[in-house]
Structure 1
Amino acid sequence: MTYEETLEYLYTRLPMYQRIGKKAYKADLTNTIKLMEQLNNPHKKFKSIHIAGTNGKGTSAHGIAAILQTAGYKVGLYTSPHLKNFTERIKINGIEVFEDFVIDFVDRIRSQIEDIQPSFFEITVAMAFDYFQREQVDIAVIETGLGGRLDSTNVITPEVCLITNIGYDHMDMLGDTLDKIAAEKAGIIKKHVPVVIGETLPETEPVFKQIAENNQATLIKAGNSTLKPQGMVADYFLKNLGGIESVTKELVRLGWNVTSNHITAGIENVNDLTGLKGRLQILEKDPLVIADVSHNVDGLKLLFTQVKEICNGKLHLVFGTVKDKDLKSIFTIIPKGAEIYWTQSAVPRALPVEELAIQGVMHGIEGDCFKQVNDAIRNAKEKVQPDDMILVTGSTFVVAEVDGL
């Protein structure tokens, strides 16, 4: 198969959460374990760091990877979903997995895929772990997909775990209370493996303490970071620096050679080192166009607060989301006075723009509708005045469709 045919096979044959939602979610590790056995258990042949949480997983993963790269290590990085290209999910020292490897991997285990019938996410996890083992990385930074306890990545035994924070997201799969969601995320805690908690709440702290105690795992509360990166950095990234630093300090305690200079330089250069995209990313300066993948209430609240400080004129908000989000809460935090351009991505999970607009009107927010993300951006550019800002957000899939990202 060609690379394009291989991707088509993966996308169409295997259930993909990003496209069809809950039906693709396998709350079970059986398939992953079977795949690992067929591949001679590559996940047991490299060291790793495991990251779960509601918000900040991706930025934390990229930040830690950048620090370790700066310290001279060969670092694998597995994150999801991708924005533009499938290969973004699997990187070593910021370089995306080669297309030839993707083709070869699927060809090598196609019979096992036919037999086991894994989900899209399960097969990409297996691909990443096989790649990291074959390329002999020093360490891999692994971001969970959904939850933690039953996430496909949860077959590794890492050096350190990090749980960034807990918020209301994916409640149809993880539970409808913070303590239930925390219990799912805390499922990545392993026997005798230290775990850093980036943020605790009254509802979640007892859960973390109990599960850590059950696993005889040292629990470390992240403190406030003293780092002050130069340039425009998302506030939610700054919020995660405490957890990133705490993980790094724990690695040092375990014998990894990482200095304060490595930490500073890694964070300062995280985008260049790891290819991090879609986090308060400036796409154009005249007019100012920013794209950000924030997609739930907690993440959007931080984003909108920062945007108010950045924007000297009117905010032009290009916004689309998916079907399972808490729209009522999201509408309450959309900045007052913003010009709204409702839109949708092309994935089946996308909330149709007409429905989004109707829901908006019901909550006192009116906007124009655009079925194509870039049409919405073009329309905003026609109306923008000096000092105005265009912000594209609400869904990873909306940001993924922006031209020039």
Structure 2
Amino acid sequence: MINYLSRMTPYFHTNRFALPAAAVSAFALSVIFLFSTFTSLHGSSIWYAVLLYLVFTFCLGVFLLRIAVNTVQSLVKSQAVIAKTEEKFRFMSDSVPNLVWMSDNLGLITFFNRRWTEYTGLDYEQSIVCPELIHEDERAEMHHQWYRAVAEKTPFDMEYRLRRVDGEYRWHLARALPLYDSSGAITNWFGSCTDIHDQKLKNQELKRVQIALELAQKATRVATWEIDTQTGVITHTPIIEMLFGFDAHIPQRHHEELLAVVHDDDREIVRQAMNSWIAMSRPENGGEENFRIEFRVVWPDQSIHWLSKVASNIRDESGRVAFLRGATFDITDIKTMQNAQQQLTIREEAARESSRLKSEFLAAMSHEIRTPINGVLGMTTFLLETELTAEQFEYADAVRRSGNALLTVI
């Protein structure tokens, strides 16, 4: 019907009075014939009545015919506009790199663009009967979310894998929005699928690395962070909570929140050291790049833990320090071992000093004791050479033996 109307459009447009003229000619012939017939049979009065009837009928016919012609012309023009609009839409949809599709108001797919056919290797008829195009892991969820969006008249947004013509499933971001008519009713849904496969794999790899980093940081008790020097806001990894004794994980904290749990004896030292380093890192002050400090923090259970902080500055285009980026790690065990080593060293030094003093004492005592003992032994030797009774000799000899034994000891 549309093709026939399209062929008739030029004739109706250039010969808009052709049909009325033909009708007038036919009417004139009919009037002549009827006039001749009725006047011969019934006289002129009948002829006037018939003539009026025919004039009325003719006018009504011309009016209705004109309406029909205008209606047909409007339909043809509307169809031409629709066809041109569809042509523009197809051109635009085929020009984008995305997979474009449309559905009716019930969610049934009615259109795929050329890029869809190139990607899947399937035309429209093949695509709508091929559920395997969507990966089985996301297929059921995709249908659930799609028809829920259609039912609730809300935008559709989901990531799932689509099968390429070579059989590879690639990740796509699918989005669809409803199209409304002038009355507010949904007429169609317009959707597209954007290939995000490479970015998805990069994100998955990044997430894997982040998880591995968090596990490594948790095992080694090391946290990484970055401080905005203008706001004092710290962006950090979750392990920072464990190091400073916080219960809840907050991705960003203010620098003063961390200083609040620093030991009272160390808090001002840390604050002044940080401020001094930021000042010294300015180019006009020498541009010091690195920073390191050790300090204590007090956990809610009042236990004391040692932390070490190392950092480097990040400059903006003007050379100003915009960020401080670094790491904080727990050195409590190291400090405990160092303290134990210091205590051991102190005890060893004390033992060596005690031994030295003992040796000096014994040396002094040996000298002081040997002198009189040598005199006693000499006199005992002379005594033994004199005439002594057996009992006297035994006593003197016992003194000599005891003296020699004492000299051996000292």
Q: What's the TM-score, normalizing by structure 1?
A: 0.17
Q: Which one has more relative contact order, counting CA pairs under 8 Å at least 6 apart? A: 1
Q: What's the TM-score, normalizing by structure 2?
A: 0.17
Larger radius of gyration: 2
Higher-strand-fraction structure: 2
Higher-helix-fraction structure: 2
